[in-house]
Amino acid sequence: MPFEQLLIEGLAMGACYGLFGLAVIIIYKTSEVVNFAAGTMAMFSVYIAFHFITFYGFPFWVAFIASLIFAGLLGVFVEFFFLRPAKNPTLLGLIVITIGVQLLLAGLAGWKWGADQQAFSIPFSYQVTYKLLPGFVVSQWAVAVFIIAFIVVTILALFFKFTKIGTAMRATQQNKYAAKIMGIKTDRITAFSWAFSSVIGVTAAMLITARTILDPEFMMEPFLRAFAAAVLGGLMSIPGVLIGGGIVGLIENFFGYLSPAWKPITAFVIIVLVLCIRPSGLFAKHYVKKV
């Protein structure tokens, strides 16, 4: 078994899942809504960067920044026009709305850019490889994934712990009404969390598509993996989600090596097992049932 290769590849893809899992939990931390449109929103934003590069000839970094701005606005737009107008929404109702948004955006992307597969490159190439030890090859792309994931998770952890907005987001999640009484504009906080989530989502999606393919469905499978990572790590724990992503990536890679036919169900098995054995995830401190 090529242990080193499976380790490095598993961790790299796992970091992508973890990073994308962060996009899922940021919204969850604020509103307890699982955003099933997260993958499609990220896909749509990557297409914006693709459009800037391919049709307007902009350099990658300009397209990347445009894509981040678009992703932020898209998050606000979705929250403001789709979720906020819902009258007396239940959590389930809001989740169903996100599924509707997912279908809508997937249809729009297919209409605008077609279903053809496209290549999307980032400055960190998977074709440039470094041989650290015999049998231990790491690509520039994988190095970039590790660094970006580390930076993002550090910023997020500091953001939630030390900034006023971060504290307000946590307060909104814990008790929306109490937060309102304390003067927090919870609607704005929720909209901000959608924007924030969308920006992190597109960052992760760009890393994923650089190693795979860009098409309107490219985030469907990574979203499920990221969701598994979030459930495993604990839907409230930022470092936990990144570690969960790494564990999902490793399990999937090692299990996939031993039994490729069963690899696609690995993520679902993880979700089911975690929900049965430890519903709050590995890294959440305790499971709190709101009353």
Report the C-alpha gap between 92 and 289 in whole angstroms: 16
Report the C-alpha gap between 156 and 185 in whole angstroms: 21
Rule CB under 8 A: is residue 137 a binding residue for other proteins?
yes
The residue (of 32 and 217) whose beta carbon lies closer to other proteins is 217
CB of 275 to other proteins, least distance (A): 22
Rule CB under 8 A: is residue 2 a binding residue for other proteins?
yes
* Residues composing the chain: 291
The residue (of 77 and 124) whose beta carbon lies closer to other proteins is 124
Q: Which residues contact 115 (CB under 8 A, 6 or more apart)?
A: 215, 216
The residue (of 4 and 32) whose beta carbon lies closer to other proteins is 4
Report the residue from 62, 124, 187, 217 that binds other proteins according to the rule CB under 8 A.
217
Residue 227 · residue 24 · CB < 8 Å: yes
- Token pair belonging to 110: 């297919």
Rule CB under 8 A: is residue 273 a binding residue for other proteins?
no
Rule CB under 8 A: is residue 147 a binding residue for other proteins?
no
CB of 281 to other proteins, least distance (A): 22
Report the residue from 69, 77, 221, 284 that binds other proteins according to the rule CB under 8 A.
221
Residue 207 · residue 19 · CB < 8 Å: yes
Number of amino acids touching other proteins (CB under 8 A): 45
Report the C-alpha gap between 176 and 178 in whole angstroms: 6
Rule CB under 8 A: is residue 211 a binding residue for other proteins?
yes
Rule CB under 8 A: is residue 126 a binding residue for other proteins?
yes
Rule CB under 8 A: is residue 218 a binding residue for other proteins?
yes
Nearest CA-CA partner of 242 in 16, 43, 42, 31: 16
Residue 234 · residue 18 · CB < 8 Å: no
Rule CB under 8 A: is residue 220 a binding residue for other proteins?
yes
CB of 52 to other proteins, least distance (A): 18
Nearest CA-CA partner of 101 in 194, 239, 180, 234: 194
Rule CB under 8 A: is residue 213 a binding residue for other proteins?
yes
Residue 149 · residue 14 · CB < 8 Å: no
Number of other CB atoms surrounding residue 198 within 10 Å: 31
Contacts with other proteins by CB under 8 A lie at 1-2, 5-6, 9-10, 13, 110, 114-119, 121, 126-127, 129, 131, 137, 139, 141-142, 208, 211-213, 215-218, 220-222, 225, 252-257, 260-261, 263-264
